[in-house]
Amino acid sequence: MNAPGSSQFLSNCTVDTLDQAARALQSGSLIAFPTETVYGLGADATSAQAVARIYDVKGRPADHPLIVHIPGLDSLEIWTSDFPRYAISLARDFWPGPMTLVLPRSATARDFITGGQKTVGLRVPAHPLALGLLHAFKKIGGLGIAAPSANRFGQVSPTTAQAVEEEIGHYLSPIDFILDGGSALVGVESTIIDCTGDSPRILRHGAITKEMIKESTGLNVSETEESDIRVSGSLEKHYSPAAKVILNAMAESGEGFIALSSIPTPRGAIRLASPATTDEYARVLYAALRSADAQGIEKIAVIPPEGEGLALAIQDRLLRASRGRSAQ
């Protein structure tokens, strides 16, 4: 357990540790925990009081829905009133994994989870610590863990336990936990798929790509920048560091620079990340943005990776981080 401002994390978590964290969830505590995408800030998804603490800690608008993390496919019926056949196909193919399905909500999914909408977002994370916590919570009667990213609303998502503490540690209470599971392996948030229509629709890009969804379902997959369904990370300004982010620009002296390793660093620029691949780019992006703020860098020039798939997710996050600013 950690107190606000402390640096004591629960690493090398044992079964007893996860049982303790599960009981704390049941009592109303918040648990920051790792997933394969980013770190989440979790609460008992059936407790209005506990979930309200998430909104307070994050400074999150009350009508912005939360994703409910569940331990497995058998928990779907608890949280949704209906699911099409293609949603089951997606769940079987990509859960546990970086995918959130938006489905018609059941009576279990209350307004304080859904933001007053008639849908609920559900996900089974792939990180062993997250799954261990979910199963420990299920054993004592827990139905699911509501968990947005463990950062202040609109800011850069944390991919390490240390980043969680730096971001929200002083907002937490002594009863809350931060579980240290190392660095997130994917690095950007889950793909969100609307499963309320006749075919799947991508509401937020992530590691589960359009091609993967089509192969799983055999259906055409639509994409939309605007939707009548509110989901996490959909605001124009999001994932934003304090530094000004400029897209498709070469950095000047004293400015931060993020680009693939094949692109040389401009003279005098401060190289924040040199990923060799798109996968690595996603994994290191948020840490690089946080590093700029830690160094007091005021401007970051970023050249996003080109292409489809995960590159689209990176492009989306950077566009929102830049508030649309581009050198082109």
Tell me what pLDDT residue 325 has.
52
**Pair 197, 60 in one domain:** yes
Same domain, 92 and 194: yes
Q: Is residue 9 part of a domain?
A: no
238-247 pLDDT, tens digit per residue, is 568 999 999 9
What's the pLDDT at 323? 79
272 shares a domain with 147? no
Is residue 5, in this structure, part of any structural domain at all? no
Please tell me whether residues 192 and 274 are part of one structural domain.
no
Task: Report the pLDDT value the prediction gives residue 157, as an integer from 0 to 100.
Answer: 94
Q: Are residues 211 and 108 in the same domain?
A: yes
* 186 C-beta neighbours (distance < 10 Å), count: 23
Sole residue written with tokens 């950690």: 2
**Which domain-ending residue is among 223, 258, 275?**
223
Rounded CA gap, 180 and 161, in Å? 5
- The verdict on residue 230 lying in a domain is no
Residue 232 lies in a domain: no
Instruction: Compute φ and ψ for 257, nearest 5 degrees.
Output: -145, 130
pLDDT of residue 218: 97
Residue 4 lies in a domain: no
The answer to whether 107 and 98 are in contact (CB under 8 A) is no
Residues 119 and 254 in one domain: no
Q: What is the pLDDT of residue 62?
A: 83
- Whether residue 258 sits in one domain with residue 180: no
User: Are 141 and 267 within one domain?
Assistant: no
Instruction: Return the H-helix or E-strand segment holding 19.
Output: helix 15-26
pLDDT value at residue 328: 47
In the structure encoding, which two tokens stand for residue 111, read together? 């307004």
Pick from 107, 137, 113, 117: nearest CA to 125: 137
> Is residue 116 a part of any domain in this protein?
yes
Q: What is the pLDDT of residue 6?
A: 42
Query: What are the φ and ψ backbone dihedral angles of 194, each rounded to 5 degrees?
Result: -75, 120
- DSSP-assigned beta bridge partners for residue 45: none
Is 7 a member of any domain? no
Q: Quote the domain boundaries for residue 22.
A: 15-223
Q: What is the pLDDT of residue 270?
A: 98
Give the per-residue pLDDT at 231. 74
Residue 235 lies in a domain: no
Asked whether 121 and 234 are in contact (CB, 8 A), the reply is no
Q: Please give the angle made by the CA atoms of 7, 11 and 14, to the nearest 5 degrees.
A: 140
Pick from 252, 317, 262, 310: which is nearest to 285 by CA?
317
The beta strand positions in 54-117, using DSSP E, are: 67-69, 99-104
Give me the number of domains the chain comprises.
2
**Which residues, given as ranges, of the chain have pLDDT below 50?**
1-9, 328
249 lies in the same domain as 172? no
Pair (289, 207) in one structural domain: no
